[in-house]
Amino acid sequence: MPQKILIIEDDKFLRELIIRKLSNEGYQAVEAVDGEEGVKAAKAEKPDLVLLDLILPGIDGFETLSRLKSDQETANIPIIILSNLGQKEDIEKGIKLGAVDYLIKAHFSPGEIIEKIVATLK
């Protein structure tokens, strides 16, 4: 069965690109455009991994992250943060809140993101 990846990203173009890449690589992609939708989708779809942006409309990425981690149903799903914020404080905060990795979108191509997903799901 193909592995399910949930992408929570508000930028339509980037979202579409990543979904296309995921499909090409044989993953099943689920999408959400903001934090609230993301939490709902995670509970409903139970993905194998979540790609989470930090700048989101409504509740921000960190808030979304804590909610996912504190809800029993979603607490065990590995979350990789995909963001263009790159300050040391942001990275530390993300890891502290439970993310397994923090990737800067401008530094990682979709292919490299897939590699990270593969490594995490091993």
Partner 1 sequence: MTFSLFSRKKLEEKEKKIALLLSDLTSLEKYIEDLLNFSPLPICFISPLGVVLEINPAFEKVSGFPSEEIIGESIEKLFDAKEIAAISTETIAKGTVAGREMELRKKNGQPLIVRVFTRTRTDENAQTIGYFLGLFDLSEIKQSEQELKKVQTALLSMLEDTEEARKKAEEEKGKTQAIITNFTDGLLFFDKNCNLVLINPKAENFFGIGKKDFIGQPSAEMTNSPGLKKLINFLGPKMKSVSRQEFTLVKDVILEVSVILMKDSESSLGNLIILHDVSREKMVEKLKTEFVSLAAHQLRAPLSAIKWSLRMFLDGDLGSVKKEQKGIIEKAYEANERMVILVNDLLNVARIEEGRYAIETVPVDLVKICQSAIDFAKDSFKKKSIDFEFRQPEKPIMVSADKEKLILVVQNLLDNAMKYTKKHGQVSFALKETPKTVIVEVKDSGIGIAKDEQKRVFSKFFRTKEAVLTEPTGTGLGLYMAKNIIESHGGKIGFKSQLGKGATFYFSLEKRK
Q: Does 110 bind partner 1 (CB under 8 A)?
A: yes
Which residue type is seen at 3? Q
Which residue in 3, 8, 20, 25 sits closest to 115, CA to CA?
A: 25
Which residue in 122, 104, 35 sits closest to 113, CA to CA?
A: 104
Minimum distance, C-beta of residue 5 to partner 1, in the bound complex (Å): 16
Q: What is the C-alpha to C-alpha distance for residues 2 and 13, in angstroms, rounded to an integer? A: 24
Query: Which residue has tokens 């409309």?
Result: 57
Positions 43 through 102 that interact with partner 1 (CB under 8 A): 84-88
Q: Does 111 bind partner 1 (CB under 8 A)?
A: yes
Burial (Cβ within 10 Å: 0-12, 13-18, ≥19) of residue 28: middle
Q: How many positions of this chain bind partner 1 (CB under 8 A)?
A: 20
Phi, psi for 75 (deg, rounded to 5): -55, -30
Interacting stretch for partner 1, rule CB under 8 A, among 34-42, 70-78, 93-101, 104-112? 104-112
* Binder among 3, 11, 37, 78 for partner 1 (CB under 8 A): 11
Minimum distance, C-beta of residue 75 to partner 1, in the bound complex (Å): 29
* Binder among 4, 21, 69, 116 for partner 1 (CB under 8 A): 21
Binding site for partner 1 (CB under 8 A): 11, 13-14, 17-18, 20-21, 24, 84-88, 104-107, 109-111
